[in-house]
Amino acid sequence: MPQLPLEGIRVIDSTYVFALPYTGGLLSDFGAEVIKLEGPGRPDTTRNSGLAGSYPEHELGDDPWNRPSTYNLLHRGKQSLTLDMTDPRGRDLFRDMVRVSDVVMENFTPRVMRAWELDYPNLRKIKPDIIMVSNTGFGHGGGPYSNNPAQATTLEGTHGHCWITGYNGEGPNRVGASFVDFLSTWTALFAIGGALRYRSRTGKGQWADIAMYQAGVMFMSDYLMDAISNKREGERIGNRHPYRAPQGCYPAQGDDEWIAISVGTDKQWQALCGLMGREGLAQESRFADLLLRQQNHDDLDGIIQVWTSQRDKYDMMHLLQGVGIPAGPVLTGKDIHFDSHYESRGFLERVEYPKDRGMGSRIFMGRPYKFSNTPLRIRGPAPTFGQDNERLIKELLGVKEDVYDGLVQDAIATTIPTTGSPVPRIPQERMVELGLLAAWDHGYRERLGLS
């Protein structure tokens, strides 16, 4: 294979939950050697899954902390090192790792790395060209919120996203997933790429100080401009649009099936009327132009859903796009695994686990881009907890065997978490009843060809 873009780059991934762990997984896809660092008593949150149904085949096994689906998605292709950073010996080993690494990623609140004397000014003393990426809710700038812990689900309120998300006449809403986590993932990738380029030209390192709330604000620019220029604070309009009508998610044929349709011009509106067999609607005075269609949007929705509810969502997508109307089926997680376009793009990748892991083959999402000269792929499964401790500590760092044995004996480095327990299993059918799962397909492995 051609050389991967980040071959030879070593990354210490001392991050938790989603945003930068996912960055680390993508860096591994690029060829970087990514070392996932966790505390023996502080395993990553995703190892103790919030949904028991995310364990393969609903089985916890003898090592449930290694099995949850989210953990395995985010940490694919990495190595695993566990160090008790509350112990001076753990911090000394961390410093030794920095000396032989290129990038350090962390997402503690600002006080943590500073208290351990592992913040950027101190890491520069150890390795002057080190690149450090810090991902916090509010940044390290010393503002009134800097030391506050945060997560994506609450940060949406701090940058205005919740204010414009929701339905007319109702209160603010957050989006369905932790949107700001993904923004921080991509922001960190861009920052690391820029810092590596800067280092290759100058020989100097860099500190990327990412504030998640600012990543969210960047996607609010048109609303900010409207507030500044026109004194309008934005509004909640659900699936509608200020400059397009009709627009919405409409029921399709089947149980809980939907299609998104967006009409932006009179020509598109006339084409939609033709497809519905209601050409006369285009001449009705209440729908004659965009402003009138917006004013009578409720009536339009009622008419359109009569037509959509009798048709397959994919068939309608092809019909609508065939006459120039933006439209797309609303896909479920199950739909994505069987969608012909996802398959043709190779977006879903199969990962083989060692037989002793009891995980078989798994399918994970890859990357939303392809390189013409470098075939990227997921380079391996996520590691077990502390699986690379002995090799990294003894071989890479040169620690003598008796010293290593003492680290293991004192639980400075472990292969089993010293705290936490798996979420109790709940029958899948009960999880569906509780709304914790949308559905459960007992034959999913056969349908995906994983048996």
Question: What pLDDT was estimated at residue 175?
Answer: 83
In a shared domain, residues 59 and 158 = yes
Please check whether residues 47 and 143 belong to one and the same domain: yes
Q: Are residues 126 and 274 in the same domain?
A: no
Check whether residue 326 and residue 371 sit in a common domain: no
- Residue segments in the chain with a per-residue pLDDT below the cut of 70: 1-2, 49-58, 421-425, 451
**Among candidate residues 332, 362, 392, the one where a domain is terminated:** 332
CATH number (domain holding residue 307) = 3.30.1540.10
Domain count, the chain: 2
Q: Taking Cα atoms as reference points, which of 396, 383, 390, 382 lies closest to residue 413?
A: 390
Shared-domain flag, residues 121 and 259: no
In a domain, 160, yes or no: yes
Kindly state whether residue 84 falls inside one of the protein's structural domains: yes
Please check whether residues 197 and 294 belong to one and the same domain: no
CB atoms within 10 A of CB 122: 14
Backbone angles phi, psi at 352, to 5 degrees: -95, 130
Cα dihedral 173, 177, 179, 180, rounded to 10, equals: 90
Residue 225 lies in a domain: no
> Is residue 241 included in any domain, yes or no?
no
Supply the range of the domain harboring residue 186.
10-218+346-447
Q: Where residue 207 sits, what CATH number does that domain have? A: 3.40.50.10540
Domain identity same for 187 and 302: no
Q: Which of 205, 219, 86, 207 is nearest to 136 (CA)?
A: 207
Three-state SS sequence of the chain: CCCCCCCCCEEEEECCCCHHHHHHHHHHHCCCEEEEEEECCECCHHHCCCCHHHCHHHCCCCCHHHCCHHHHHHCCCCEEEECCCCCHHHHHHHHHHHHCCCEEEECCCHHHHHHCCCCHHHHHHHCCCCEEEEEECCCCCCCCCCCCCCCHHHHHHHCCCHHHCCCCCCCCCCCCCCHHHHHHHHHHHHHHHHHHHHHHHHCCCEEEEEEHHHHHHHHHHHHHHHHHHHCCCCCCCCCCECCECCEEEEECCCCCCEEEEECCCHHHHHHHHHHCCCHHHHHCHHHCCHHHHHHCHHHHHHHHHHHHCCCCHHHHHHHHHHCCCCEEECCCHHHHHHCHHHHHHCCEEEEECCHHHCCCEEEEECCCCCCCCCCCCCCCCCCCCCCCHHHHHHHHCCCCHHHHHHHHHCCCCCCCCCCCCCCCCCCHHHHHHHCCCCCCCCCHHHHCCCC
Domain boundary among 306, 332, 358: 332
Inside any domain, residue 337: no
Pair (326, 352) in one structural domain: no
pLDDT per residue as tens digits for the range 68-119: 889 999 999 999 999 999 999 999 999 999 999 999 999 999 999 999 999 9
Same domain, 377 and 420: yes
Q: What is the pLDDT of residue 442?
A: 81
Is 202 found in the same domain as 67? yes
Which of these three, 303, 332, 361, is where a domain ends?
Answer: 332
Q: What is the pLDDT of residues 209-245, one digit of tens each?
A: 999 998 888 888 888 999 999 998 888 999 999 899 9
Read off the pTM. Answer: 0.91
Whether 43 and 98 map to the same domain: the answer is: yes
Residue 320 lies in a domain: yes
Is 234 part of any domain? no
